[in-house]
Chains A and B, each alone.
Chain A
Amino acid sequence: MSVHPHPRRRTRSAKRMVATAVGTLVLLNVGLTTYLCTFTHWRDPMFARPALAFNARLEQQPNERVAIAFLGSSRTGGGIDPRLVEPLVTKHTGRPCVAHNLHVPGAGPISLLFHVQRLIALQVPVDAVIVELSPLWYAMVDGRPYEYRNPAADRLSWAEVQQAIQFGFPAEEYQRDWYQATYNPWMGYRFQWLGNLKPSWLPPNVVRHERFATATLGHRPPFFNELSAEQKRDGLQRMRPIMYAPMQTVNFDDPPGQAMRKLVRTCREHGIVVGVFVVPLSDEFRSWYPLSVNERIRTFLETLHTDGATVSIDLRASLDNTLFGDGHHVVGVGVPAYSTLLAEQVVLPVLRQSGKVAP
Chain B
Amino acid sequence: MLFHTQLYLFFFLAVFVLYWAMPWQQWRVYLLLVASFIFYASWNEWLALLVTGTATLDYFLGLGIAASRSRRQARLLVATSLVVNLGVLCYFKYVNFFLDSLKATLALVGVKISVPVLEVIVPFGISFYTFEAISYTIDVYQGRVKAERRLPNFLLFILFFPHLVAGPIVRARDFLRQAERPKRWSWIRAQHGIQLIVLGLFKKLAIADCMAIYSERVFKPDQDIASLHSGSVWMAVLAFSIQIYCDFSGYSDMALGSAHLLGYKLTVNFRMPYFAPNISLFWRRWHISLSNWLRDYLFIPLGGSRHGEWRTCRNLMITMMLGGLWHGANASFVVWGLLHGGLLVSHRLYRRGCDAITPLKRVMDSLVGRFLGIVTTYFCVTLCWVFFQPSLAKATAVFERMFAFSKVGVGLPMDQNRLWWTTILLIAAHAVVSVGIWKWVWQRLPAPVIGVLCAGVFVLAQVLSTDTAKAFVYFQF
Contact = CB atoms under 8 A, between A and B. Distances in A.
A2 B415 contact: no
Contacts of B464: 190, 194, 201
B446 interface: yes
B447 A16 contact: yes
Interface residues on B, range: 35 or more
| Size class of the contact patch on chain A | 20 to 34
Contact of B450 (A17, A25, A186, A203): A17
A92 interface: no
Contact of B459 (A20, A22, A23, A28): A28
A21 interface: yes
A18 B187 contact: yes
A11 interface: yes
B447 A2 contact: yes
A303 interface: no
Contacts of B192: 1
B459 A17 contact: no
Contacts of B67: none
Interface in B437-462: 442-448, 450-452, 454-456, 458-459, 462
A247 B192 CA distance: 58
A259 to B, nearest CB: 28
A14 B452 CA distance: 13
Main secondary structure of the interface of B (DSSP, over half): helix
A354 interface: no
B391 interface: no
Interface string A68-110: 0000000000000000000000000000000000000000000
Contacts of A201: 414-415, 417-418, 464
A203 B459 contact: no
Interface string A9-45: 0110111111111111100100000000000000000
A185 to B, nearest CB: 9
B26 interface: no
A243 interface: no
Contacts of A180: 6
Interface string B189-215: 011101000000000000000100100
Given A11-B187, A21-B455, A2 B444 contact: yes
A200 interface: yes
Contacts of A184: 6, 462
B413 interface: yes
B21 interface: no
B458 A190 contact: no
Nearest to A24: B455
A204 interface: yes
Contacts of A15: 187
B436 to A, nearest CB: 13
B452 A24 contact: yes
A59 B72 CA distance: 93
B452 to A, nearest CB: 5
A18 B6 contact: no
B123 to A, nearest CB: 29
A231 to B, nearest CB: 16
Nearest to A25: B455
B46 to A, nearest CB: 28
A212 interface: no
Contact of A20 (B210, B444, B451, B463): B451
A21 B193 CA distance: 12
B443 A14 contact: no
Contacts of A24: 451-452, 455-456
A13 B447 contact: yes
Given A180-B6, A204-B213, A204-B414, A21 B462 contact: no
A190 B194 CA distance: 22
A21 B6 contact: no
A17 B455 contact: no
A122 interface: no
Contact of B443 (A3, A19, A28): A3
Given A1-B191, A17-B451, A190 B462 contact: yes
Contacts of A187: 462-463, 465
Nearest to A189: B463
A193 interface: yes
Nearest to B190: A18
A234 B194 CA distance: 53
Contacts of B458: 21, 25
B180 interface: no
A1 B188 contact: yes
B467 interface: yes
B466 interface: yes
Given A11-B187, A24-B455, A200 B417 contact: yes
Interface string B18-50: 000000000000000000000000000000000
A186 B188 contact: no
A21 B454 contact: yes
Contacts of B191: 1, 14, 17-18
Interface in A165-212: 180, 184, 186-187, 190, 193-194, 200-201, 203-204
Contact of B451 (A19, A190, A200, A204): A19
Contacts of B446: 2
Contacts of A204: 213, 413-414
Contact of B465 (A16, A23, A190): A190
B442 to A, nearest CB: 7
B444 A17 contact: no
B437 to A, nearest CB: 15
A91 B463 CA distance: 47
B213 A21 contact: no
Nearest to A188: B462
Given A11-B187, A190-B464, A203-B213, A17 B448 contact: yes
Most A CB contacts (10 A, CB to CB) among B191, B415, B446, B454 go to B191
Contacts of B455: 20-22, 24-25, 28
Contacts of A194: 463-464
Contact of A3 (B188, B444, B452): B444
Nearest to A194: B463
A206 to B, nearest CB: 8
Given A1-B442, A24-B452, A25-B458, A11 B188 contact: yes
A186 B6 contact: no
A16 B448 contact: yes
Given A20-B448, A190-B463, 19 more contacts: A1-B188, A2-B446, A3-B444, A14-B186, A14-B190, A16-B451, A17-B450, A17-B454, A18-B190, A20-B455, A21-B194, A21-B454, A21-B455, A23-B451, A24-B455, A186-B462, A186-B463, A203-B210, A203-B467
Closest 10 CB pairs of A and B: A20-B451, A24-B455, A14-B187, A21-B451, A16-B447, A187-B462, A14-B191, A200-B415, A17-B447, A204-B413
28 contacts: A1-B442, A2-B446, A2-B447, A14-B188, A14-B191, A16-B448, A17-B191, A17-B448, A17-B450, A17-B451, A19-B451, A21-B452, A21-B454, A22-B455, A23-B451, A24-B452, A24-B455, A184-B6, A187-B463, A190-B465, A193-B463, A194-B464, A200-B415, A200-B418, A201-B417, A203-B414, A203-B466, A204-B413
Interface of B: 6, 186-188, 190-192, 194, 210, 213, 413-415, 417-418, 442-448, 450-452, 454-456, 458-459, 462-467
